[in-house]
C-alpha cells in the first residue's frame, strides 16, 4: 500500500516535477518490466510488483487531481455575506447563492462527462487516438476545475445539508476520474489466475459501464432516467467487485477492482441523493 507521494514517485522512478505524459510513460515502462508474463518463473513476485506500480500511478494521478487549484473564476464567484441584513436573511442569501453556484457547476460537469461517453473515451485504444487525446484531457481538466470549485464552495458554509450534497457530488466526480484511468484490456492469457481475476473484474466493469451509460449519457438523450435499471446494474457491479477482491486479493487486477468498487459506491450515493428528493 502506497503511503505518500514520495514513495509513489520513487517506485515509478520519476521526479515529482514530471508531466502527466512522463508519468504515464514511466508506468508503461515499469509494467513491461514486471508484467507476470515476463516473469513466469516468479508469478507471485511479479503480481505484487504490478500491484505496487498500479497503486503508485493511481496515487500520483489522484493527488494531482485533488491538488489545490487557482481561485474560483468569475463564473462561480465565492458568495459573500452581506453586511447590513440580519443574520437570518444573510444566511438565507448566502445559501441561495451557494445553491445557484453549485447547480451551475453540476450542470456543466454533467455536460463534460457526457462528452466522455459521446466520444467513447472509456475505450483506452480509442482515447489514445491523436484526435481524441486532447478531448479526454479537456474533459479531465474541466471536471478537475469543477471539483475545486465545489471544494471552495464548501468552505463558505457550515450548512450540513449543503455540505453533504457537495461531498457526495465531489466524491462521485473524483472517483469517476480515477475509474477512467483504470485498465480495461487483458494483454495476455498466459497466467491462468490473472485471466480468471480479469474475467471476473471485467464482468463487474460491464455492469458498472451500463449504469454509467444510463446515468450520464442515455438519460440525457431520451430525457428520461431508468433509475431502477441503473441502480440494479451498479449493485450487480458492486457484488462482483467485492467477490473479485475476496477471490483474487493478490492479483494485479486488485487495484483496478478497488477503484471501480469505490466509484460504484460513489455513483450509488450520488443517485440516491440527487434523484430521490
Q: What is the mean pLDDT of residues 222-237?
A: 96
pLDDT-based confidence at 37, cuts 50/70/90?
Answer: low
What pTM does this model have? 0.82
Q: What is the mean pLDDT of residues 189-204?
A: 89
Measure CA 157 to chain center: 26
The Cα 271–Cα 229 span in angstroms is: 12
Encode pLDDT of 205-229 as tens digits. 999 999 999 999 999 999 999 999 9
Domain spans, the chain: 1-67, 87-176, 182-277
In this predicted structure, the answer to whether residue 43 has a pLDDT above a threshold of 90 is no
Encode pLDDT of 182-191 as tens digits. 877 766 667 8
Mean predicted lDDT score pLDDT of the chain: 87
DSSP secondary structure code for residue 41 in this structure = G
Question: How would DSSP label each residue in 213-226?
Answer: HIIIIIHHHHT---
Q: How far is CA 77 from CA 73, 80, 210, 217, in A?
A: 6, 9, 36, 29
In this predicted structure, the answer to whether residue 73 has a pLDDT above a threshold of 80 is no
pLDDT-based confidence at 89, cuts 50/70/90?
Answer: low
Q: Is residue 240 within 8 Å of residue 207, measured between CB atoms? A: yes
Of residues 143, 148, 268, the one with CA closest to residue 215: 268
The pLDDT value recorded for residue 206 is 96
Polymer length of the chain:
277
Encode pLDDT of 19-32 as tens digits. 888 887 888 788 77
Question: How would DSSP label each residue in 51-109?
Answer: HHHHHHHHHHHHHHHHS--PPPPTTSPPP---SSS-HHHHHHHHHHHHHHHHHHHHHHH
The pLDDT value recorded for residue 88 is 59
The pLDDT value recorded for residue 91 is 73
pLDDT-based confidence at 168, cuts 50/70/90?
Answer: very high
Architecture of the domain whose range is 1-67 = Orthogonal Bundle (1.10)
In this predicted structure, the answer to whether residue 138 has a pLDDT above a threshold of 60 is yes
Q: How far is CA 184 from CA 20, 34, 178, 195, 261, in A?
A: 20, 18, 13, 12, 14
Measured over the CA atoms of residue 214, residue 216, residue 218 and residue 219, the dihedral's sign is positive
Report percent pLDDT > 90 for the chain: 52
User: Of residues 40 and 25, which shows the higher confidence score?
Assistant: 25
Amino acid at each position: 500500500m502506497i503511503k505518500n507521494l514520495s514513495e509513489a514517485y520513487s517506485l515509478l522512478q520519476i521526479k515529482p516535477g514530471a508531466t502527466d505524459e512522463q508519468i504515464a510513460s514511466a508506468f508503461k515502462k515499469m509494467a513491461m518490466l514486471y508484467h507476470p508474463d515476463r516473469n513466469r518463473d516468479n508469478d507471485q513476485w511479479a503480481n505484487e510488483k504490478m500491484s505496487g506500480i498500479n497503486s503508485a500511478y493511481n496515487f500520483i494521478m489522484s493527488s494531482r487531481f485533488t491538488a489545490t487549484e487557482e481561485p474560483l473564476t468569475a463564473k462561480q464567484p465565492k458568495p459573500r455575506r452581506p453586511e447590513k441584513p440580519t443574520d437570518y436573511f444573510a444566511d438565507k442569501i448566502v445559501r441561495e447563492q451557494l445553491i445557484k453556484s453549485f447547480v451551475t457547476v453540476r450542470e456543466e460537469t454533467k455536460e463534460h462527462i457526457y462528452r466522455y461517453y459521446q466520444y467513447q473515451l472509456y475505450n483506452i485504444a480509442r482515447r489514445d487516438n491523436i484526435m481524441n487525446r486532447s478531448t479526454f484531457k479537456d474533459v479531465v481538466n474541466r471536471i478537475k476545475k469543477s471539483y475545486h470549485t465545489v471544494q471552495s464552495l464548501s468552505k463558505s458554509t457550515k450548512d450540513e445539508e449543503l455540505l453533504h450534497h457537495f461531498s457526495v457530488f465531489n466524491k462521485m466526480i473524483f472517483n469517476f476520474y480515477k475509474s477512467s484511468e483504470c485498465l480495461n484490456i487483458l494483454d495476455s492469457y498466459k497466467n491462468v489466475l490473472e485471466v480468471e481475476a480479469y474475467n471476473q473484474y471485467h464482468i463487474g466493469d460491464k455492469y458498472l459501464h451500463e449504469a454509467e451509460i444510463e446515468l450520464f449519457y442515455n438519460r440525457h438523450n431520451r430525457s428520461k432516467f431508468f433509475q431502477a435499471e441503473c441502480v440494479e446494474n451498479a449493485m450487480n457491479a458492486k457484488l462482483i467487485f467485492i467477490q473479485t477482491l475476496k477471490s483474487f486479493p493478490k492479483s494485479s487486477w486488485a487495484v483496478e477492482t478497488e477503484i471501480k468498487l469505490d466509484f460504484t459506491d460513489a455513483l450509488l450515493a450520488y443517485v440516491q441523493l440527487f434523484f430521490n428528493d
